[in-house]
Amino acid sequence: MTMTLTVSVIIPTWRRAPWLVRCLTAVLAQGPRPHEVIVVGRAEDREAQEVVEEAARTTTVPVRWVEVNRPGHIPPIQAGLASVQTPIAAFLDDDAEPEPGWLQALLEPFADPRVGCVGGRVVTPGFRGKVRRDAGKIRWYGKHVGNIGTLEMPRPWWSSFLT
pLDDT score recorded for residue 158: 41
Model pTM above 0.95: no
The CA distance from 83 to 98, in Å, is: 22
pLDDT-based confidence at residue 150 (cuts at 50, 70, 90): very low
Domain boundaries, the chain: 1-99, 112-163
The CATH number of the structural domain formed by 1-99 is: 3.90.550.10
pLDDT tens-digit readout, 65-110: 999 999 888 999 999 999 999 999 999 999 999 999 999 999 999 9
pLDDT surpasses 60 at 162 = no
The CA distance from 142 to 140, in Å, is: 6
DSSP the chain: -PPPP-EEEEEE-SS-HHHHHHHHHHHHT-SSPPSEEEEEEETT-HHHHHHHHHHHHT-SS-EEEEEE-S-SSHHHHHHHHHH--SSEEEE--TT--PPTTHHHHHHGGGGSTT----------TT--SPPP----EE-TTS-EES-TT----SS-TTGGG--
Query: Which of the pair, 133 or 23, is modelled with greater confidence?
Result: 23
pLDDT score recorded for residue 9: 98
pLDDT tens-digit readout, 113-127: 888 888 776 667 777
pLDDT surpasses 90 at 163 = no
Q: Tell me the pairing of strands 63-68 and 144-145.
A: unpaired
pLDDT tens-digit readout, 5-61: 899 999 999 999 999 999 999 999 999 999 999 999 999 999 999 999 999 999 999
pLDDT score recorded for residue 145: 65
Q: How far apart are the first and last CA of the chain?
A: 26
Query: What are residue 38's DSSP bridge partners?
Result: 10, 64
Q: Residue 131: CB partners within 8 Å, gap ≥ 6?
A: 150, 152
Query: Which of the pair, 84 or 144, is modelled with greater confidence?
Result: 84
Instruction: Round the average pLDDT of the chain to a whole number and report it.
Output: 84
